[in-house]
Structure 1
């Protein structure tokens, strides 16, 4: 008998005299429920944790979004990727570039990418992209050196289980996802932090309130 079979056997023997309906009734299943974010609300905690990762974080009202994104892109060399829905929302006159299945080498020559997000996780400072409208395919948020990500305040959740529940409810469970916690960085070599190794060197997060 394997260790797994031994453990499962003990569990089955322990609950053998409890019927199935009673087992379900007595279990307080709280996965996906909101949890505490301490002395800050979820948006404040999200902004704090994202900044801890050395990302640039700005909180702006909706009517300041376009100007904020334009400033974030000021000085970026090369064209900027974003899908049509997001370009229409921003209405910024810059050198936009279509993602017509650009190769990795072509994406590497792009100056920046602008995306929206699906979820922002407060307690971990993680941004989740499910690559729906406004987010593009996975490669566009992983190769260009600058990523400007727009997160609506209503998209913030407290912790990972709540994020998973939100993604399932929104129908994103069957789509590819990208979970981002700060700019790309590694400290593998002599514990020296090096940014931009396997993703954007600069992450600029704009929280719309």
Structure 2
């Protein structure tokens, strides 16, 4: 019994015929990405700051010895009385803060994270060209929920970890680690281009850049 080919059979047949005529794929994929670009510290700092401010983040550049003072001032100004921090965060960064600190060493439930006034984390690497901060779940950065649920994220960036572009940033990351990319506070907009912040992450992002760490 002969069956009439369906439209699906016809389309798939044409695809098979086209694939049969296609050249064999290259065994080596060329990856001539732009890598190794560098800029002086001052220029990387200025470029990253410009991009972050354009994304509506607040930026503080300071020397390493002033890290605790700056973080404490930010948290006081934001009236953050109860904050969460990754279990591996440098305790010295919190000496300027006199509120309650909850260390995320025992998987704090998400509802408890939502009740925090803010969170302070470190960072893995930052891309000056795009204003993007990368978190990779290291002990000073913690799990992803910790930096996404609270309304305020204070992120500490060492200038030594700031690179020029995305290829340089990716080259510094461990691909098997969970990576979170941050470019300003969480925001989205509808078809009318009405900006709404805090939809899928912190409504406020404060970046503390340590210039001599």
Q: Shorter-chain TM-score category? A: 0.7 to 0.9
* Corresponding residue of 2:53: 51
Q: 1:182 aligns with which of 167, 181, 184?
A: 184
Report matched runs for 1:1-209 at 5 Å.
Answer: 1=16, 6-9=21-24, 30-31=32-33, 33-35=35-37, 41-74=43-76, 75-92=78-95, 93-99=98-104, 100-167=106-173, 172-188=174-190, 190-209=192-211
Query: Which structure: larger Rg?
Result: 2
> What is the CA RMSD across the aligned residues, in angstroms?
2.6
Q: 1:151 & 1:4 partners in 2: Cα distance?
A: 49
Q: CA shift at 1:116, angstroms?
A: 0.4
Of stretches 58-67 and 80-89 in structure 1, the one that deviates more from structure 2 is: 80-89
TM-score normalised according to structure 2 size: 0.80
1:154-188 superposed Cα distances (whole Å, 9 cap, x missing partner)? 00011111111111xxxx21111100111001112
Q: Secondary structure at the match of 2:61?
A: strand
1:28-82 superposed Cα distances (whole Å, 9 cap, x missing partner)? x643613377xx7222211111111000011111111110000111143441111
Q: 5+ residue gaps in structure 1?
A: 13-19
1:113-160 superposed Cα distances (whole Å, 9 cap, x missing partner)? 000000110110000000102101100000000000000000001111
Q: CA shift at 1:198, angstroms?
A: 1.0
TM-score normalised according to structure 1 size: 0.81
Q: 2:195 & 2:139 partners in 1: Cα distance?
A: 34
Q: Secondary structure at the match of 2:160?
A: helix
* Corresponding residue of 1:15: none
Q: 5+ residue gaps in structure 2?
A: 1-15
Q: 1:44 & 1:196 partners in 2: Cα distance?
A: 26
